[in-house]
Amino acid sequence: MSWTEDKVNKLKELWGKGNTASQIAEIIGGISRNAVIGKAHRLNLSAKIKTRTATSNQVFDNSQNDKNTKNKRGKRSKFKSLIIEKDFEPENPKQLEELDESSCKWPIGHPNESSFYFCGRTSLKDFSYCKLHLLYAYQPKGKKDDVIEKDEVPAFIQKKIKSA
């Protein structure tokens, strides 16, 4: 199949009106949807077309953005609440064979050392780590945006930083 000048002009016209690639292929006839997409790409036709569904998609996108913003705030506040909490349960050293679903699987030491063990505290639901090690393992999105002043960092975290 070769693109004649008439077919190219028809493609440009229909593309500009906002027809889908499938509709254009059907109207021109004898070409596939993918051929229309490929030719439109090679002709550098804009992918941002005003279509009938564009307005309804914008309403949907805006509602999704609002939901995502609310979810992000919720996750961020959960992590901040973990930082504020200072009364962590004591470590319960366990070997690999002793771990279960509710045990913190944070490794302590190096696996080649005889003193190597896992934290063993009670892990949070849907996570492999306890509250303390969750702070180390998972950084919420946008964490770099939240600059914490040195004075705001709790003492127990400063102590962990110094010991590391």
| 97-148 pLDDT tens trace | 888 988 999 898 888 888 899 998 888 888 888 888 877 777 666 655 555 5
Q: How far apart are CA 4 and CA 53, in angstroms?
A: 31
**Do 18 and 51 contact (CB within 8 A), yes or no?**
yes
Task: Give the residue from 27, 39, 50 showing the smallest Cα distance to 1.
Answer: 39
Beta bridge partners of 107: 118
Q: How far apart are CA 115 and CA 158, in angstroms?
A: 25
Segment 68-84, tens digit of pLDDT: 555 555 555 555 555 55
